[in-house]
Amino acid sequence: MSENMISVKGIHKYFGGVHALKGVELQIKKGEVHCLAGENGCGKSTIIKVISGVHKPDGGEIEVNGVKVDHMTPSESIKQGIQIIYQDFSVFPNLTVIENLAFNKVLASKKKFVNRKEFRRIAEEAIKKINFDVDLDALVETLPVADKQLIAISRALLDNAKLIIMDEPTTALTKKEVKRMFEIINKLKDEGVTILFVSHKLEEVFEICDTVTIFRNGENVISCPVSEMDEKKFSFHMTGRHFAEVTEGKKRNLGETVLETKQLSARGFNDVSFTLRKGEILGITGQLGSGRTELSLALFGLLRPDEGEILIEDQKVNIPNPTKAQELGIALVPEDRLTEGLFLPQSIKRNIAITRLDELSNKLGVVNSELLDDESAKWVRDIGVATKNDEFPVSTLSGGNQQKVLLARWIASNPKVLILNGPTVGVDIGAKYDIHNLLRKLASAGMGIIIESDDATEIVNTCDRVLVMQKGQITAEVKEEDLNVKTLANYV
Amino acid sequence: MKTALKTNEPAAPKTRLSFIKMDGNILRLLIIMLTIFIIASITKPSTFLSVANFLSMEKQMVEYGLMAIGVGIAMIAGGIDLSVVYIANLSAIVAGLFMQKFAVAVSGPEQIFFIVLGILLGLLTGIVCGLFNGFLIAKLRIPAMLATLGTMQLYMGIAIIVTGGSIVSGLPEPFAIIGRTNVFGIFTMSFIVYIVIVAIVAYYIGKTKYGLKLYLLGTNEKASKFAGIKNNQIIIRAYMLSGVIAASAGLLSLARINSAKADFGSSFVMLTILIAVLGGINPDGGAGKILGIFLATITVQLMSSYLNMFPEISNFYRDMIWGIALILVLIVNHVLNKKSEAKLMRLTSQ
């Protein structure tokens, strides 16, 4: 018997002309929680798909329990006890919990008739393994994301999983749910299940994992026990860049009030009063359903306030639509980049220039294409969008660069108030660093900035002051001197 | 992280990218068009390569060619306009009835004045019909397919009531002349009007602020709202544009056959969609060029005229042939899109 649950050696994978995996190695010991980290597009997902037999590698070998597997197929991989919990969870939303849990097993038993009692028994057994408390008759689509994941895990255990691969499982979870997830991971570990935990969230990796392997550009750069890793090393290996400690723009002179709300209420939040000063970065934190998203929508003219006032530079304003918001100097970088922000198949150029069309066209509304080219080139250069050409569709960019395009779009409109909802969600460390620096620079130049985020590190690193929102109300205000990850966690 | 910023040297990147900028679809259409032309010229030299054939092709294509542009604009906006044919008929009927009543009895400048007024009234009818379409789609959020299916019936119904179901004919002579005049012997007057309209619309959609917004909105309505675009305004204007272009088609048809009828050209509904899609307009919105629609119109007309030269292919086959053509075009477009995506993947990854 080998001490490695799985061992892949020298795996190559090409997609068309793209060399996605360049001879990667990955050794996972039995019973450990192994972290696979790396930025978007580094080959994490590809290697998972190779291990699970979805992609056929173009070179290299896979050993499971020390035995070489020549042709890994999805069914072979399941037979070997490898189970993957994908980001989209692969559960059937329109079926009940019982049905989701028992389906595989019943189908596998090749019985022609199904027995409801049998279903229930299997399902109960499954959730007991991880002490998961859920209404077995509920439709899965009505459950929170965290429960869907746990259902997927329970189902994996039913199939005698020996290695569970979790693909960024915590992305959509709240703090509490993450905690519960970690308890379950520890429990699984105690029972001898090996876990491959795919993540790029630093804190989580340090908290839960034994060993960490980092991929970059389809190559593995390091593999070592977590104890030998620290934050700096981690980001260096992920990005290949060293990040200087940020000092620039940390201390800023705050100007007069640029935005103020008085007892503002709308669907989703009520009685919200706060001020934002020129040059200030104000954090608003709170979980899903805290009302922070609705607040940003109301400030941008996408949600009509029921009561209260919004003041821009001490002038009471009415914001019926985003066009008006833009005229008043309010910009919003929305929460969901892909559906609310970007025109994915359209060029980077068009995506950037959209807010500047008035300035880029003549009186008759004819766009001056030279001005358009220059404008786009300028922003691509200034903000550092990594692309070979701004005629490419914005969909070809990485998450971080897409976010930069959105930032460019709104900074180009030269707003007084820039609101960002989850500015670095799904953004790699390098781009995150760039974006935070950029925001500080903008604030130093006098822009008022609101960052809505549930990423505590982000808030602490960038904001001067933080408002905590819960159930549609501001429940606390944290001043800069008290601002650190721990105090923030106490409020949320 | 590499920040390849070659974009600030003006000349280089443009040439390198010319094959992306050059719409593959336009090139493809040109090739198809020329192929059909050459085949037709070789196999049927005497009938196909005659002035009479060219004049008749011009006359036929102008009307549905214009309507296809209307459909195309609606498609770029992420919708569709099924009512163009009936907007054209209704506009022609309104203009025709007006001219019948006021312009036939008089003569000279007075007659010209009433003819022009009739034309304007026809165009206004198209604009109003389009406005109503736009209102249903933008304000009431009715899916474009259903909204225009409904108004298609509505506009036909109005036309039937107004005319009592009969043909409107007997138009003043100076107006009918438009439909008979040829320029340089090989261009019909209406074809020249058509070319002018195509050029104006292509410029408007391709080069102006409005056009750019239309493409962005067609790509992602939500994102365009978040980007501060007034979606409703853009959508309504798109359908008004479609309406007025359809009306111009109706007026040209009125001049050509010297009459108008509520249900004239029903088979064009299908044909205009075929042409728009063949012309490279993405039925999901946000992509395609007016020039593509123009080329597709010529292609379809060449095909149609060529098929006409075989007496053994009955007219009954026509609908089936266009149906098959539409499905084929959709399949080919799908395959080609997949291919160009893969190409882009290779290009953008180092």
- A377-411 pLDDT, tens digit each: 999 998 888 888 888 899 888 888 899 999 999 99
- pLDDT of residue B3 exceeding 70, the answer is no
Domain boundary among A192, A213, A239: A239
User: So what's the pLDDT on residue A244?
Assistant: 67
pLDDT (tens digit per residue) in A186-240: 888 888 889 998 887 777 888 889 999 998 888 888 888 888 888 788 888 887 7
Do B316 and B202 share a structural domain? no
Same domain (yes/no): A285, A213? no
Is the same domain home to B231 and B323? no
Q: How do residues B5-26 score in pLDDT, each as one tens digit?
A: 333 333 334 444 444 445 678 8
Q: Which of B8, B207, B226 sits opposite A322 (nearest CB)?
A: B226
* % of chain B with per-residue pLDDT over 70: 92
CA distance B202 to chain A (A): 12
Same-domain check for residues A190 and A131:
yes
- Residues of chain A neighbouring B229 (CB-CB closer than 8 A): 323, 354
Instruction: Quickly list DSSP for B155-213.
Output: HHHHHHHHHTTSPEE---HHHHHHTT-EETTTEEHHHHHHHHHHHHHHHHHHHBHHHHH
- Spell out the long-range contacts of A353-357 with Cβ–Cβ below 8 A and sequence spacing 24 or more: A353/A409, A353/A412, A354/A409, A354/B212, A354/B213, A354/B216, A354/B224, A354/B227, A354/B228, A354/B229, A355/A326, A355/A331, A355/A409, A355/A410, A355/A412, A355/A413, A355/B227, A355/B228, A356/A412, A356/A413, A357/B209, A357/B212, A357/B213
A276 and A366 in a single domain? The answer is yes
Decide if B70 contacts B210 (C-beta within 8 A).
no
Q: Please check the confidence at residue A424 and state whether its pLDDT lies above 70.
A: yes
Instruction: Provide the shortest C-alpha distance from residue B200 to chain A (in Å).
Output: 12
One domain for residues B273 and B254:
no
Residue A99's domain comprises 4-239
Last residue of a domain, one of A185, A213, A239: A239
Mean pLDDT of chain A: 86
Of A346, A355, A378, the CB nearest to B219: A346
Three-class DSSP category at B117: helix
Shared-domain flag, residues B220 and B325? no
Q: Is there a single domain that holds both residue B245 and residue B300?
A: no
Do A180 and A271 have their domain in common? no
B77, B214 in Cβ contact below 8 A?
yes
Q: What is the pLDDT of residue A16?
A: 67
A290, A469 contact by CB (below 8 A)? yes
Q: What is the pLDDT of residue A449?
A: 95
Residue whose C-alpha is closest to residue A323's, from B232, B236, B237, B226 = B226
- Give the pLDDT score at B208: 95
Residue B248 and residue B235 share a domain? yes
**Structure confidence at residue B19 (pLDDT):** 43
* Alpha-carbon span A143 to A358, nearest angstrom: 46
Is the model's pLDDT at A150 over the cut of 70? yes
Q: Is residue A250 part of a domain?
A: no
Task: Answer whether residue B350 shows pLDDT above 70.
Answer: no
Give me the total of CB pairs closer than 8 Å, taking one residue from chain A and one from chain B: 128
Confidence band for A442, pLDDT divided at 50, 70 and 90? very high
Which of A17, A341, A431 is opposite residue B226, by nearest beta carbon?
A341
pLDDT, tens only, A98-129: 888 887 777 666 666 767 787 888 888 888 87
| A319 and A437 co-located in one domain | yes
The shortest C-alpha distance from B281 to chain A (Å) reads 14
Give the three-state DSSP class for B260. Answer: strand
Are B255 and B272 in the same domain? no
Average pLDDT of span B202-206: 96
Chain A nearest-CA distance from B334, in A, is 15
Using alpha carbons, select from A55, A289, A87 the residue that is nearest to residue A200.
A87
Count of domains in chain B? 2
- Residue B182 domain-assigned (yes or no): yes
Which of the residues B212, B224, B284, B339 would you substitute to probe the A interface, choosing the one with the greatest number of A C-beta atoms within 10 Å? B212
pLDDT of amino acid B1: 38
Please tell me whether residues A228 and A368 are part of one structural domain: no
Condensed to tens digits (0 to 9), the pLDDT of residues A65-79 reads: 888 888 888 888 888
pLDDT in tens, B232-290: 999 999 999 999 999 999 999 999 988 999 989 888 998 999 999 999 999 999 999 99
Q: What pLDDT is stored for residue A294 in this prediction? A: 92
CA distance B24 to chain A (A): 15
Residues in chain A closer than 8 A to B344 (CB atoms)? 392-393, 396
Do B257 and B274 share a domain, yes or no? no
Domain count, chain A: 2
Highest mean pLDDT among A362-366, B20-24, B124-128, B325-329: B124-128
Q: Is the same domain home to A97 and A180?
A: yes
| Domain assignment present for B119 | yes
Mean pLDDT score, B312-340 = 81
CATH of the domain at A160: 3.40.50.300
So what's the pLDDT on residue A92? Answer: 81
The alpha-carbon gap from A253 to the nearest alpha carbon of chain B, in Å, equals 31
Interface test with A, best of B2, B5, B333 (most A CBs within 10 A): B5
Range A300-309 average pLDDT:
92
- A345–B219 CB contact, under 8 Å: yes
| Range from A142-151, A352-361, B100-109, B172-181 carrying the lowest mean pLDDT | A142-151
A385 and A461 housed in the same domain: yes
Interface test with B, best of A216, A297, A388, A395 (most B CBs within 10 A): A388
Same domain for B141 and B192, yes or no, is yes
Whether residues B309 and B262 share a domain: the answer is no
Average pLDDT in the A444-473 region?
Answer: 89
Whether A247 is covered by a domain: the verdict is: no
- The pLDDT of residue B348: 63
Q: Which of residues 404-433 of A touch B (CB under 8 A)?
A: 409, 430-431
Q: What is the pLDDT of residue A331?
A: 95
* Same-domain status, A215 and A273: no
Residue B199 resides in a domain: yes
Asked whether the predicted pLDDT for residue B315 surpasses 80, the reply is no
Rounded average pLDDT over A282-294: 86
| Domain shared by A200 and A347, yes or no | no
Between residues A145 and A10, the one the model is more confident about: A10
Report whether pLDDT(B2) > 50. Answer: no
Position B8 scores a pLDDT of 39
Q: How far apart (Å, rounded) are the C-alpha atoms in residues B321 and B343?
A: 32
Would you call A437 an interface residue with chain B, using a CB distance cutoff of 8 Å? Answer: no
Section B209-231 average pLDDT: 95
B343-348 average pLDDT score: 70
Q: Is residue A248 part of a domain?
A: no
Tell me: pLDDT of A248 over 60: no
Which of chain A's residues have a Cβ under 8 Å away from the Cβ of B241? none
Say if A55 falls within a structural domain: yes
Is the dihedral angle over the CA atoms A483, A487, A489, A490 positive or is it negative? negative
- The CA distance from B231 to A238, in Å, is 42
Distance from CA of B71 to the nearest CA of A (A): 21
pTM for this entry: 0.79
Query: Is B201 a domain residue?
Result: yes
Question: pLDDT > 90: what percent of chain A?
Answer: 33
Cβ within 8 Å of B, A 318-347: 321-323, 325-326, 332, 334, 339-346
Question: Which residues in A lie closer than 8 A to residue B7 (C-beta atoms)?
Answer: 373, 376-377, 380-381, 389-390
Q: Which of A332, A347, A356, A357 to mutate to test the interface with B (most CBs of B within 10 A)?
A: A357
Confidence of residue B176 (pLDDT cuts 50, 70, 90): confident
**What's the rounded Cα separation, in Å, for the pair A278 and A255?**
5
Is the pLDDT score of B128 beyond 80?
yes
Is A245 part of any domain?
Answer: no
Q: Which of B16, B216, B345 sits opposite A346 (nearest CB)?
A: B216
* pLDDT for the residue numbered A84: 85
List the single range of A10-14, B145-149, B289-293, B334-338 with lowest mean pLDDT.
Answer: B334-338
* Same domain, yes or no: B304 and B177: no
A350 in the same domain as A228: no
Domain with B243 in it: 76-266
Are residues A358 and B210, on separate chains, in Cβ contact within 8 Å? no
Q: What backbone torsions phi and psi does residue A222 show, to the nearest 5 degrees?
A: -160, 150
Residue B201 confidence (pLDDT) above 90: yes
- What's phi and psi for B224, nearest 5 deg? -70, -35
Task: Place B184 in a pLDDT band, splitting at 50, 70 and 90.
Answer: confident
Q: Which residues of B touch A365 (CB under 8 A)?
A: 208-210
- Decide if B257 is inside a domain: yes
Compute the average pLDDT of residues B151-167.
95
Q: Which residue of B has its CA nearest to A302?
A: B226
pLDDT value for B4: 40
pLDDT at B39: 92
Inside any domain, residue B258: yes
The answer to whether residues A100 and A136 belong to one domain is yes
Q: Are residues B275 and B257 in the same domain?
A: no
Strand A194-198, strand A163-167: pairing: parallel
Whether residue B343 is contained in a domain is answered as no
Could you say which of A17, A357, A386 has the minimum Cβ distance to residue B1? A386
Residues of A in contact with B3 (CB under 8 A): 381, 384-386
Of the candidates A360, A383, A386, the one whose C-alpha atom is nearest the C-alpha of residue A373 is A360
